[in-house]
Amino acid sequence: MNKNKIVVPLSNNSYEVTIRQGIINNIGEELTLMGVSNNRKILIVSNKQISKLFYGKILNNLKKYNFSAEIFNIKAGESYKNLESLREIYNAAFEFGLDRNALLIALGGGIVGDVTGFAAATWLRGIEYIQIPTTLLSMVDSSVGGKTAVNHPKGKNLIGAFYQPKAVFIDPETLITLPKREFKAGMAEVIKYGVIRDKALFEYLEIDKNRDKILNLNNESLIKIINNSIKTKSSIVSEDEKENGIRAILNYGHSFGHVIENLCGYGEYLHGEAISIGMKIAGDISIEKNLWLKEHSLRQNNLIESYGLPTKTPKIKKNEVKTILMGDKKVRDGKIRFILPKEIGEVDIFNDVEESQFLKYFD
Ligand code: GLY
């Protein structure tokens, strides 16, 4: 097995994630190698900023392999991860005559990936789709695992489906044009994998020389951290595809992260920034519950900060925090479930955190 290919092994719908520099220039070839027939129509969903950078490269290679493709751009930003963008994709799918044999390709970050995945899950009761993530965050998290969704005005990702892609193609070169702030926000998810399952990755990220290489987009280092992250994600998703149990640990830092994104306004904090603060709070709760040592918490927080990410909780009101937490998808039987760290590389799911233990970090 090629070392830059990771299989996501699932009972019905296993697929491969390929990580390779320059793969963005070879999508037609990759599809052909996968056995995708070139008589299938392809609709690429992206946004203007991303498609102007990469669509030309993709189209050239698709044409070379006799595929016919169209592009449809949705508007960029979390506020457009909604039913309106979904409706626009359906309209484009109708106009382009996408039949059951057609293929959607999501080209972009997590928003494009999630909306396109949900469009694929629902158009004609489900057509195949491929993820080409172009942000670090979507490479290591949202493009893999089949969570697809749009937001409802009352909450994030409330309308969605588990629907796995047919393949994921990751080209670290696409990170060159990614704004630095967004790259760093993606590092929060990489750090998350270190804390929840991969101590060796955590320790690799701690080393100054490695951090410099990562922040300078050294290709080998990027492939290493993306590879390690996806291996962890793949193993967790294959254990629990529909999040009935262990998959919830992938949400480490996310409960408070969602609260912060929601109450501070989407855009004020990037997702990765908000979950950085969420991980800090989870670590503090863990100290208080004697689950892990203060020194582990310090190492986690230092690592987060060393990648230019925030750990300071913004001023938000306790009662608002509680309302948002109670509305979260992670609430089961009225109990808020928290993912708390026990060691570097180990977390667990707890539903016995007292209100006073988690509200004390807010005003
Ligand atoms: N982003 C968390 C998950 O895919 O389960």
Ligand 1 pocket, CB under 6 A = 141, 145, 147, 247, 250-251
| Nearest alpha-carbon partner for 85 in 118, 51, 52, 43 | 118
Pocket test for ligand 1, best of 250, 275, 328, 337 (most atoms within 8 A of CB): 250
* Ligand 1 atom, smallest distance to 247 CA: 5
* Ligand 1 atom, smallest distance to 243 CA: 5
For residue 79, report the distance from its CA to the centre of ligand 1, in Å: 20
| Nearest alpha-carbon partner for 271 in 114, 61, 54 | 114
Mean pLDDT, the chain, whole residue set: 95
What pLDDT shows up at residue 155? 79
What pLDDT shows up at residue 318? 92
What pLDDT shows up at residue 330? 64
For residue 192, report the distance from its CA to the centre of ligand 1, in Å: 11
Distance between first and last Cα of the chain: 52
- Known catalytic residues are 125, 147, 189, 233, 243, 247, 251, 254, 258, 271
pLDDT in tens, 202-227: 999 999 999 999 999 999 999 999 99
For the 5-177 domain, the top CATH level (class) is alpha beta
**Strand boundaries in 35-179, DSSP class E:** 42-47, 69-74, 103-108, 128-133, 147-152, 155-162, 167-170
Q: Which residues of the chain form CATH 1.20.1090.10?
A: 180-359
What pLDDT shows up at residue 153? 85
Find which of 115-124, 146-155, 265-274 is predicted with most confidence, using mean pLDDT. Answer: 115-124
Region at 123 (left for phi over 0; alpha for psi -120 to 50; beta for the rest): beta
User: Quick one: what percent of the chain has pLDDT higher than 90?
Assistant: 86
Decide which of 140 and 258 is more confident: 140
Nearest residue (CA) to ligand 1, atom 2: 250
Q: Which CATH number is 180-359 given?
A: 1.20.1090.10
| Nearest alpha-carbon partner for 154 in 325, 327, 350, 320 | 327
For residue 360, report the distance from its CA to the centre of ligand 1, in Å: 27
* Ligand 1 atom, smallest distance to 147 CA: 4
d(CA 236, CA 197): 10
pLDDT in tens, 106-133: 999 999 999 999 999 999 999 999 999 9
| Nearest alpha-carbon partner for 191 in 133, 252, 145 | 252
In this model, does residue 266 exceed pLDDT 80? no
For residue 139, report the distance from its CA to the centre of ligand 1, in Å: 12
AA identity, residue 324 = I
What's this model's pTM, rounded to 2 decimal places? 0.95
pLDDT in tens, 161-216: 999 999 999 999 999 999 999 999 999 999 999 999 999 999 999 999 999 999 99
For residue 142, report the distance from its CA to the centre of ligand 1, in Å: 7
